[in-house]
Amino acid sequence: MRTAGAVASAALLLPLVSASPSATAPRPSSEALQQDFAAAAAEYRVPQSVLLGVSYLQSRWDGHGGAASVTGGYGPMHLTDARTALAEAPHHSHGGEDPRGDDSRPTGRAARAAHELPEPARLPARLRTLERAAELSGLSPERLRTSAEANVRGGAALLADAQRRLGRPLSQRPEDWYGAVARFSGADDTATARTYADDVFDVIRTGQTRLTDSGQRIALAAHPAVDPDPSQAELLGLRTADASRTQCPRTVACEWIPAPYEEFGEGDYGNHDKADRPASQSVKYIIVHDTEGSWDTTVRLVQDPTYVSWQYTLRSSDGHVAQHVPLKDVAWHAGNWYVNSKSVGLEHEGFLVAPDAWYTEAMYRSSARLVRYLAKRYGIPLDRRHILGHDNVPGTTAATVRGMHTDPGPYWDWAHYFTLLGAPFTPTAGPRAAVVTIRPAYTRHQPLYTGCLKPGQACAPHGSGAVRLHTAPSADAPLVKDVGLRPGGEDSTVGVNDTGARASTGQQYAVAGREGDWTAIWYLGQKAWFHNPRTQPTAVPARGALITPREGATEVPVYGRAYPEASAYPAGVPVQAISPLPYRLLAGQRYVAGNRTRGEYLYATTFDTAAHAVVRGKEAYYEIQFGHRVAFVKASDVRLVNGPGGGR
């Protein structure tokens, strides 16, 4: 409906500058951080299990090389210093898509919503915990940001202070610290504080062991008998969030902050469309976005009728969820009307726009619980053909391909996310299978990206779930081309926003060849090679249905939406063009097939819903993993094939 240069619904994380020493610099031994937790726990009389449990929920004990999280949190304890991070971070987004993605309506008629960052002085306390930790510990803010040992001490000081402020003793019984843990979350409502504390104590009860991103071995022994009293959270005096109209699982704290459905000009309205899903249309996709705004800015924008919308926003610091649009209605978020009308959009908070920043474990867990709930509600398979990043949504026509957004980008940890979903990416076939699932080891897989801060400048090293694709089995070979992004035929680049030669964790592709430590896949109509050594594989063998052009066809067109044939449209509903993308699926090539679906179009161009209609055709389509983004091909143009590991 409208272009938003800095939309909270669709921005890619861009770099967060950090010239500071690493919070995870080389340490004397791989046990040093464990010893730091023990020392800090003893110094501030906090049970070590509580300190470790809180840190795990914040960062999984990682230091992230000294980079701040998307909400300005530093180190294993995620001490927030958004003032510093905000001052250092660039702030802009990529792409100029129309979030509604429907060319049956005029674009650009509504006022463009202004995007503002909060002044540092107006930042809430949850984004300034490092400042308080400095006061309590006597450690400098610089040390708290850059030293893992100091960061852990600062976190312990905050927990001890919270316990004292609640009038409770500095007990060595973990269950006595439930209220302090709830306070540490920074949540402003009781339900979120309790959900956060419940998660921490679940970690304490079950235990965890992990090798961190800096090579530190951390273990938290299981304490299954720990049974805290959740009523301690009532002593915090927090508000009660309105959850009356929310559609959320009981395992997340959810709040109703509605997006308006209003007219604001002649023939213009926003910021979503009324519908009756799933009775009117099935819901097939869940779209993962990241925001480019603070929590407060994001929820303010979604309440503007002249802006765009999405169903849910998730807060990074504590995993709190706000719902804005009822699930039966269609939000404007993905830049593709076909996908919008059949999807639910989830925005994940991040106003510091830094791809080398990181998300908290609290938000990953809340998001995974919400996705599991939605997937069960609508029968959506937990795979990467149905759980899409915004960067996997195709352009609608050749003209829109270059403007599509690229969030959440190569730094979203899809492997960890799907593990939390209960659907980890594991081998499902033998080593010579006809299909592979991309799955690099996120933490140690750190390909070079550029453009995070300045064009051509290298981004800070960071774990990534994406592999790079070359024209030959060599790191020196050019990257494969994307004629949709570069009609002139130029090579793809290693730019952080360039999706032209990138395959992401969980995506499945048909194998096109193998040579030494390299594997080739069919990708955007060409053979694309990625490094896949046996000792450190970046993909696992898989099974999947494959399609190829029908007998006698040398090539078939590829589409960005599965619209009905012209004869399916009733009188009064304009026929929507079935416009191919600038790609071709060539004879002999194979692609992994997803949904087989009949063409469908939701006609909704007026505020008055009386004229709205769902058009269904006879023409069937397959969704395929064609490049980094999914695409559609007509079932009549292709045939299903089986190969080793490639059967249904």
Q: What share of the chain has pLDDT > 90, as a percent?
A: 77
- Return the H-helix or E-strand segment holding 530: strand 526-531
| Average pLDDT of the residues in 16-42 | 69
Q: Is the pLDDT of residue 452 over 50?
A: yes
Token readout for 516 is 């030494």
pTM: 0.92
Q: How confident is the model at residue 454 (pLDDT cuts 50, 70, 90)?
A: confident
Helix (H, G, I), strand (E, B) or coil at 339: helix
Classify residue 450 by its DSSP letter. Answer: B
Q: Is the pLDDT of residue 114 over 80?
A: no
Q: What is the mean pLDDT of the chain?
A: 90
pLDDT number for residue 87 = 62
pLDDT number for residue 67 = 82
| 292/199: higher pLDDT | 199
| 540/351: higher pLDDT | 540
Task: Kindly tell me the sign of the dihedral angle through the C-alpha atoms of 329, 334, 339, 343.
Answer: negative
| 153/4: higher pLDDT | 153
SS3 string, 453-512, reads CCCCCECCCCCCCEEECECCCCCCCCECCCCCCCCCCCCCCCECCCCCCEEECCCEEEEE
Q: Is the pLDDT of residue 10 over 90?
A: no
Q: Is the pLDDT of residue 269 over 70?
A: yes
Contact between residue 550 and residue 516 where contact means Cβ atoms under 8 Å apart: no
Look at 71-80, 293-302, 316-325 and tell me which has the smallest mean pLDDT: 293-302
Q: How confident is the model at residue 525 (pLDDT cuts 50, 70, 90)?
A: very high
All structural domains of the chain: 32-236 (1.10.530), 430-540 (no CATH), 548-641 (no CATH)
| Average pLDDT of the residues in 349-356 | 56
pLDDT digits (tens, 9 = 90+) for 79-112: 999 877 766 554 334 567 888 999 887 654 433 3
pLDDT number for residue 16 = 30
pLDDT number for residue 65 = 81
CA-atom Rg of the chain in angstroms: 25
Q: How confident is the model at residue 292 (pLDDT cuts 50, 70, 90)?
A: low
| Average pLDDT of the residues in 134-154 | 97
